[in-house]
Amino acid sequence: MKLFEYMSKYDYEQLILCHDESSGLKAIICIHDTTIGPALGGCRMWTYDSEEDAILDAMRLARGMTYKNAAAGLNLGGGKAVIIGDPKKDKSEELFRAFGRFVQSLNGRYITAEDVGTTEADMDLIHQETDYVTGVSPGFGSSGNPSPVTAYGVYKGMKAAALKAFGSDSLEGLTIAIQGVGNVSYNLCRHLHEEGAHLIVTDIYEENVARAVNEFGAKAVKVNEIYSVECDIFSPNALGAVINDETIPQLKAKVVAGAANNQLKEERHGDMLMERGIVYAPDFVINAGGVINVADELNGGYNRERAMKKVETIYDNLLKVFEIADRDNIPHYKAADRMAEERIAKLGRTCNTFLQNSKNILKMSHK
């Protein structure tokens, strides 16, 4: 792998390999961009087939966080960390505290958080070594479980997508196909049910389906049937890459809006959605509620009311994405990238102006 070539292609700032012999820690911290603020992104713990796979995952996820944070209107850059190991058997206090010391050594350039394979309890251990961590236990002034907040953001974003597709942001009476009914999606279903939407659900876990059927009157279908059901909105809330050559021709929905990451298998599938006249709510815009929530902890302590008001701006952010797409005649996924890039560029110029003014003041003070 030609690391510097890859870093140059996507303009990465820093890649840190972390090793601690006594704890067995093997971790990668990747900082993609700090133009508009310190890099915020979760710490993932996973068993990778190779060290190169772990590095690539950290780099890919870090770049995604740059776009997510910028699009969400946060004054934060993008970063990510991965710990190589089995989250079911390789965790220990000394491992997470060793990782925390590496985070601390970056002096605030990277702020970590919970991610796949890590928990609130793990963040508490990291917090013993560094203040640059979010998502710790509420007793430390944290935001706690982000799932309900992520779900609320997806709900608000879905209303914006409905406005674009149907001329009204009301979801009452609409049929919404929900793929995956885990923690985030269960809370999303609750919001949709309360507004009067009709739900069709599927999940690989029968108990998740049964809960949605019993509590929300949802209709259950088999896993592979969810793509072809008659519905107004298709909501992917499980695995990524579900919008692909096989599934797109089956879709009868006018909107795709859900919490899953990396919904498009390839970028060209976003082009295919545009060709079919389907409104697509780009995943990193609509599912930003969780990162908005933990980012609020950095504002002098967590304030739920303030965080929820910020999450509600996902509605406006998606309307801006649709506006850019119409303005530039581009697919919605490209418009989301453009929105994030435009904000980074504008704030980057502001930062450069500030630095130049500071240099001029210093020069004048020495005359």
Ordered DSSP codes for 311-323 = HTHHHHHHHHHHH
334 is catalytic: no
Cβ-contact 183, 290 below 8 angstroms: no
**Amino acid 113: pLDDT:** 93
Q: Say what the pTM is.
A: 0.87
Look at residue 268 and tell me if it is in a domain.
yes
Domain membership of residue 230 (yes or no) is yes
Whether 354 is covered by a domain: the verdict is no
Assess if residue 347 is contained within a domain.
Answer: no
Give domain status of residue 362, yes or no.
Answer: no
Tokens of 352: 């450069």
CATH number, domain with residue 91: 3.40.50.10860
Same domain, 115 and 202: no
Lookup result for tokens 């002034």: 141
* Domain at 219, CATH number: 3.40.50.720
Is the domain of 100 the same as that of 185?
A: no
Q: What is the DSSP string of 220-249?
A: E--GGGGGGS--SEEEE-S-S--BSTTTGG
Q: What is the pLDDT of residue 349?
A: 64
In a domain, 278, yes or no: yes
Residue that finishes a domain, picked among 95, 114, 140: 140
Nearest CA-CA partner of 208 in 186, 235, 237, 175: 186
Asked if residue 68 belongs to a domain, the reply is no
**Is there a single domain that holds both residue 246 and residue 184?**
yes
Q: Of 23, 302, 20, 21, give the one whose Cα is nearest residue 146.
A: 302
120 in helix, strand or coil? helix
Pair (136, 179) in one structural domain: no
Q: What is the pLDDT of residue 280?
A: 98
Are residue 282 and residue 242 in the same domain, yes or no? yes
Quick one: which of 114, 110, 90 has its CA closest to 183? 114
For residue 219, the tally of other CB atoms under 10 A from its CB is 14
Distance (Å, whole) CA 47 – CA 117: 10
Q: Are residues 130 and 251 in the same domain?
A: no
Among 90, 112, 140, identify where a domain stops.
Answer: 140
Any domain includes 356: no
- pLDDT by residue for the chain (367 residues), tens digit each? 799 999 999 999 999 999 999 999 999 999 999 999 999 999 999 999 999 999 999 999 999 999 999 999 999 999 999 999 999 999 999 999 999 999 999 999 999 998 888 998 999 999 999 999 998 888 777 787 788 999 999 999 999 999 999 999 999 999 999 999 998 999 999 999 999 999 999 999 999 999 999 999 999 999 999 999 999 999 999 988 999 999 999 999 999 999 998 899 999 999 999 999 999 999 999 999 999 999 999 888 889 999 999 999 999 999 999 999 999 999 999 999 999 999 999 888 665 443 444 344 333 333 3
Q: Are both 44 and 160 inside the same structural domain?
A: no
**Residue 277 backbone zone (phi > 0: left; psi -120 to 50: alpha; other: beta):** left
Residue 93's domain spans which residues?
3-61+75-140
Task: Examine the domain organization and report whether 131 and 154 are in the same domain.
Answer: no
Catalytic residue among 2, 26, 68, 80: 80
pLDDT at residue 366, rounded to an integer: 35
Q: Which of 89, 116, 140 is the endpoint of a domain?
A: 140
pLDDT reported for residue 179: 98
| Cβ atoms 256, 243 nearer than 8 A | yes
Q: Would you state the pLDDT for residue 1? A: 75
What is the C-alpha separation between 364 and 233, in angstroms, rounded?
61
Residues 133 and 212 in one domain: no
**The tokens of 138 are what?**
């509420």
Q: Which residues have CB under 8 Å from 227's CB, separation 6+?
A: 234, 247, 250, 251
Number of domains in the chain: 2
Mark whether 134 and 153 lie in a shared domain. Answer: no
The answer to whether 328 and 335 have CB atoms below 8 angstroms apart is: yes
What is the rounded distance in angstroms from the CA atom of residue 318 to the CA atom of residue 249?
25
Q: Which residues pair with 78 in a beta bridge?
A: 33, 40
> Looking at the structure, do residues 134 and 163 belong to the same domain, yes or no?
no
Residues 51 and 24 in one domain: yes
